[in-house]
Structure 1
Amino acid sequence: MENIELYKEFYFREIDRRYELDNSINIPILIISGIVSIHVFLYSQEIPSSILLASKILTFLCFGFGIFSFYYLLKSFSNFFRNHTYRELASMNSFLKYENSLLEKHETITAKKEFDDYLKKEFAECNEHNYKINIGRMENLAKAKSGIFYSLSLTLFSAITYIISIIITQ
Structure 2
Amino acid sequence: MNFGIKLFRILNGIGIFLTGALVLIFLNVMLQTGDTAVLFMIFFLGGVLIHAILSNALQKSLNDPAYTLKENTPGGVQVLGFFPILVGLLSVLMASMLNNPEIREVLFKQLKEQADLQKQTIPAGTMEAALSFFQVVMSVYGIILVGNAVLSMFYVKQWRDRQNGDQNEGPDDIGA
Q: State the TM bucket, normalised to the shorter chain.
A: 0.3 to 0.5
Which structure has the bigger radius of gyration?
A: 1
TM-score by length of 2: 0.36
Question: Going by fraction, where is helix more abundant, 1 or 2?
Answer: 1
- For normalisation by structure 1, the TM-score amounts to 0.37
